[in-house]
Amino acid sequence: MAEKKFKAGTEEPEDKLVAKAKKGDIYSFERLVERYQKKIYYLAFRMTRSHEAADDLAQESFIKTFYFLKSFKEGYSFYAWVNRICMNLTLNYLKRQKFTVTESQLPQGYLEMVEDTGKADASEELIRDELTRKIENEIDHLPAEFRAVFILKTYEELSYKEIAKTLKISKGTVMSRLFRARERLQKSLKGYL
Amino acid sequence: MKCKDVDKLLHLYFDGELDAEKSKELEEHFLTCQDCAAKLQELENLEENARRIRMPEPSADYWKTFAERVRNEIIIRRKKSIWARLKSGWESFFFYSPVKLRIAAGIATILLVFIVGKLYWNYKGKELERVRSERMEKVLSIPAQQKPEIQTPAVKESLQTNKHAKETTFVQPKPSTVEQKALQLSASPESKPSEQAEKKVELQAPSESVISLAGEKAQGEKGAGESRAPELQKSITVTAERPKIEKGVTANLRTITQAEMVRQPSILPETTLYIPKLPEKKPATATTIVRAPTTVKKDERLLSAESIKYYKIDTNWVRALTEKDLLIEADTLKKVISSWIEYFEKKPVSEWAPEGFSQVKIAYELLFLKTSDDTLLQEGIKLLNRYKDSVTNQKTKDELAKKILELEALKKK
């Protein structure tokens, strides 16, 4: 009944869904998952470059979030909380896997999966594709800690303070890691940028 | 603003972490400095291109079922028993994790240190115990090795089998006149058999030191005693035990005394025996003083024991003092004095041992040197004067007078 009720209903405010989920309402929590599943999945994917790993990590992040929901303080961002859990799980996973992805490891037809958003002419698009692939490859080769900071800043657009909180490191460390990550990328992409 | 300063703030500006004032300063600088503007541009290009990285798009079904799969997984896990949760927790503990590894390594190190320490301690303890027992065996074996041969069957019989006693027999080369008299007394055929049997000179009591004139015990009959007397007079059986250590004696002295007592039998031949002249009818149990050995065989382990001597006054062992014993405690000195006073009070004047006077005098001297108390010296002088008046022997009187003079001289000093 509850399921039907939620499915039929319109967008419920996040804080209400969280409050219900905290009381054990798993269907309210499902709504929250639906809301943030893509963002969490892509965060995990950017870090691991593996669909299977990203799928597992994203699911595990939500499951953990549900179990620790009682310690979640109302008024805070639910997504920031899931994001933090996901990033910690991903970093632990990478430490276990010593995960590094090379271009050859990427799934075949990977680029075909991506929507074509380019509007420039063919030759310019080719150059851009090459640069993007190069950047992607270089990001993948960054140490996990550097990559995490870079991803959280560039794609999640978090502030230094938020990144520091997510990764449980100091603001100074965030600045240092971000600077080094960018420096490495700039160095390896010299001539392209 | 200089380019050097801009370099430091460039990333902060780019990430929007600078305040408005600083941001404005940087923007003004970018208008004038092409190099810094190029650096900013480079950062912008990097971010723009990084954002253009295309992500694989899983199928629509995947997204439709994602939340449902999460829900199902939660429900499944909820249904898991507590035991299963505990088990999974236990298993997850063994997943590789640097933190876990460090904790485990730490615990393992502590355990290892504890075990090794314990083993070493046990080993060392046993080693020490072994060394100690070896030393003790050596010390205990000295008297046994040095035990002289028993010369007559009568003497052999007289060896006592007291398990607490250390025994030895030695041959007295030439008994002093006093001793000869005592032996004659003991060997007298006129004495009753029962008395004769008890005619060993005993020093019994806390310390249970026994000095017996061997052979006398063997005299079961009158005639036999007469015939064996000359031969038996030459041997004396000494049974000595460790004296009881009295309170107030320091730990160091205690150790030395014990060791010395263990070795006593081997050095007893030099013992001087004081036996008073007794009426014929009295049993010969009146030995009053035994001076402990004046020389002690050198032993590296017990080097400090060389100078320590004791007087046996009836049942008490009293420290023998010399003028050099400046380190002896006042309590010990007082005890020596009181023991001798007790001895003089107990015994008739005719039995007084002259050494007691010397000991009292030295004790008072040492006490005075320790405490600088005139009254003590005065007390000593008074005591010796009393003894001087009591004694009848002129030689002893002169000696006492000399001692009194010495004490008075010290007092004047």
pLDDT tens across A12-30, in order? 888 888 888 888 888 889 9
List the single range of A49-63, B114-128, B297-311 with lowest mean pLDDT. B297-311
pLDDT at position B320 is 85
- Three-state SS for B326? coil
pLDDT at residue B83 tops 70 = no
d(CA B273, CA A191): 117
**Distance between B23 CA and the closest CA of chain A, angstroms:** 16
- Would you call B89 an interface residue with chain A, using a CB distance cutoff of 8 Å? no
> For B68-77, what is each residue's pLDDT tens digit?
999 888 888 8
Please give the mean pLDDT across all residues of chain A: 81
SS (H, E, C) B20-37: HHHHHHHHHHHHHCHHHH
- Check CB contact under 8 Å for A186 and B42: yes
d(CA A166, CA A158): 10
Least CB–CB distance from B46: residue in A30, A63, A193: A193
- Would you call A51 an interface residue with chain B, using a CB distance cutoff of 8 Å? yes
pLDDT at position B127 is 83
- Would you call A145 an interface residue with chain B, using a CB distance cutoff of 8 Å? no
Q: Which two tokens stand for residue A46?
A: 């950017």
Amino acid identity, position A75: G
Q: Return the residue matching tokens 């994001």.
A: A83
> For B257-267, what is each residue's pLDDT tens digit?
455 555 544 44
Which residue pairs, CB below 8 angstroms and at least 24 apart, start in A133-137? A133/A103, A134/A189, A134/A192, A135/A185, A135/A189, A135/B46, A135/B49, A135/B50, A135/B53, A136/B53, A137/A102, A137/A103
- Would you call A42 an interface residue with chain B, using a CB distance cutoff of 8 Å? yes
Q: pLDDT band at B326, cuts 50/70/90?
A: confident
**Distance between B78 CA and the closest CA of chain A, angstroms:** 10
Amino acid identity, position B310: Y
Which residue pairs, CB below 8 angstroms and at least 24 apart, start in B101-105? none
Q: pLDDT band at B407, cuts 50/70/90?
A: confident
pLDDT at residue B324 tops 60 = yes
* Percentage of residues in chain B having pLDDT higher than 90: 7
The two counts, helices (H) then strands (E), for chain A are 10, 0
Least CB–CB distance from B77: residue in A37, A63, A150: A63
User: Could you tell me if A43 and A87 are in contact, meaning their C-beta atoms sit under 8 angstroms apart?
Assistant: yes
How many beta carbons lie within 10 A of that of residue B381, not counting itself?
20
Q: Choose between A109 and B403: higher pLDDT.
A: B403
- Check CB contact under 8 Å for B71 and A27: yes
| Residue B362 burial (10 A CB sphere; 0-12, 13-18, 19+) | buried
> For B346-374, what is each residue's pLDDT tens digit?
888 888 888 888 899 999 988 888 888 88
Vertex B238 angle, CA B237 and B239, to 5°: 125
- Would you call B73 an interface residue with chain A, using a CB distance cutoff of 8 Å? yes
Least CB–CB distance from B57: residue in A30, A113, A160: A113
pLDDT at position A74 is 78
d(CA B70, CA A66): 10
**Distance between A150 CA and the closest CA of chain B, angstroms:** 10
Q: Choose between B125 and A65: higher pLDDT.
A: A65
- Check CB contact under 8 Å for B66 and A34: yes
Give phi and psi for B150, each to the nearest 5.
-80, 130
Q: Which two tokens stand for residue A68?
A: 């620790």
d(CA B173, CA B275): 18
Q: pLDDT band at B270, cuts 50/70/90?
A: very low
pLDDT at residue B189 tops 80 = no
Pairing status of strand B289-291 against strand B272-274 = antiparallel
Full strand arrangement of the beta sheet holding B235-240: B166-171, B235-240, B210-212
pLDDT at residue A87 tops 80 = yes
In chain A, residues with a C-beta closer than 8 Å to the C-beta of B73 are 59, 63
* Percentage of residues in chain B having pLDDT higher than 70: 56
Q: Which two tokens stand for residue A172?
A: 């100074």
- Check CB contact under 8 Å for B42 and A193: yes
Q: pLDDT band at A56, cuts 50/70/90?
A: very high
- Would you call A132 an interface residue with chain B, using a CB distance cutoff of 8 Å? yes
List the single range of A34-38, A102-106, A175-179, B380-384 with lowest mean pLDDT. A102-106
Please give the mean pLDDT across all residues of chain B: 69
In chain B, residues with a C-beta closer than 8 Å to the C-beta of A160 are 15, 17
Give phi and psi for B283, each to the nearest 5.
-70, 150
- Check CB contact under 8 Å for B56 and A45: yes
Length in residues, chain B: 413
Give phi and psi for B87, each to the nearest 5.
-65, -45
Q: Choose between A167 and A74: higher pLDDT.
A: A167
d(CA B113, CA B107): 10
pLDDT at position B300 is 43
- Would you call B95 an interface residue with chain A, using a CB distance cutoff of 8 Å? yes
Report DSSP letters for A43-103, one per residue: HHHHHH--HHHHHHHHHHHHHHHHHTGGGPPTTS-HHHHHHHHHHHHHHHHHHHHT----G
Question: What average pLDDT score do residues A143-163 get?
Answer: 92
User: Could you tell me if A174 and A160 are in contact, meaning their C-beta atoms sit under 8 angstroms apart?
Assistant: yes
pLDDT at position A10 is 59
- Three-state SS for B147? coil
In chain A, residues with a C-beta closer than 8 Å to the C-beta of B11 are 175, 178-179, 182
Q: How far is CA B199 from the centre of its chain?
A: 41
Question: Least CA distance to B97: which residue of chain A?
Answer: A96
User: Could you tell me if A22 and A78 are in contact, meaning their C-beta atoms sit under 8 angstroms apart?
Assistant: no
